[in-house]
């Protein structure tokens, strides 16, 4: 009985071996065809995604500015430094995405994007997270005649 099963298994193996090769060849053909068809579609998807991201970039920047301003106000300015860093990264990334679709070099940061979380145009923010914003004119002791 065991010999009979072994003989059947060997016969199945002999018949299956060429079929495996044929299946592998067909799979390779189908994969090449899929790649050929998907390539242009993938490129189109990439272009459209870039366009959509560029259109969304200003809204993302505004949203981050509003959120950072609210957080800065709610925390009394304790996290101004880290918030400024997040804003800089988001504005930089949004600018790069927008510039890719426009084909222009990256724009220099504007006063709005570098002013910090909810900062007035006449103020700048110190890099430390816990420090108070410094005004554009230095302390009164240095400015006296």
pLDDT at 69 over 90: yes
Distance, in Å, from the CA atom of 68 to the CA atom of 73, rounded to the nearest integer, reads 8
Residue 98, pLDDT score: 79
17 pLDDT tier (thresholds 50, 70, 90)? confident
* More confident call, 139 vs 29: 29
Residues 77, 133 contacting (CB under 8 angstroms):
yes
Residue 103, pLDDT score: 61
Q: Give the β-pairing of 123-124 and 134-135.
A: antiparallel
The domains of the chain are located at: 51-131
Mean predicted confidence (pLDDT) in 84-93: 93
Residue 97, pLDDT score: 83
Residue 102, pLDDT score: 67
Residues 99, 106 contacting (CB under 8 angstroms):
yes
pTM for the predicted model, two decimal places: 0.44
Distance, in Å, from the CA atom of 92 to the CA atom of 79, rounded to the nearest integer, reads 20
């Amino acid at each position: 009985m065991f010999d009979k099963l072994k003989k059947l298994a060997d016969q199945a193996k002999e018949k299956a071996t060429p079929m495996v090769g044929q299946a592998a060849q067909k799979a390779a053909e189908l994969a090449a065809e899929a790649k050929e068809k998907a390539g242009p579609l993938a490129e189109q998807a990439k272009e459209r995604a870039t366009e959509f991201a560029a259109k969304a970039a200003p809204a993302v920047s505004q949203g981050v500015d509003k959120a950072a301003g609210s957080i800065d106000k709610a925390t009394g300015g304790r996290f101004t430094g880290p918030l400024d860093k997040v804003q800089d990264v988001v504005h930089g990334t949004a600018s790069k995405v927008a510039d890719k679709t426009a084909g222009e070099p990256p724009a220099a940061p504007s006063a709005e994007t570098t002013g910090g979380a909810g900062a007035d145009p006449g103020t700048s923010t110190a890099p430390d997270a816990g420090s108070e914003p410094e005004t554009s004119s230095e302390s009164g002791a240095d400015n006296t005649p």
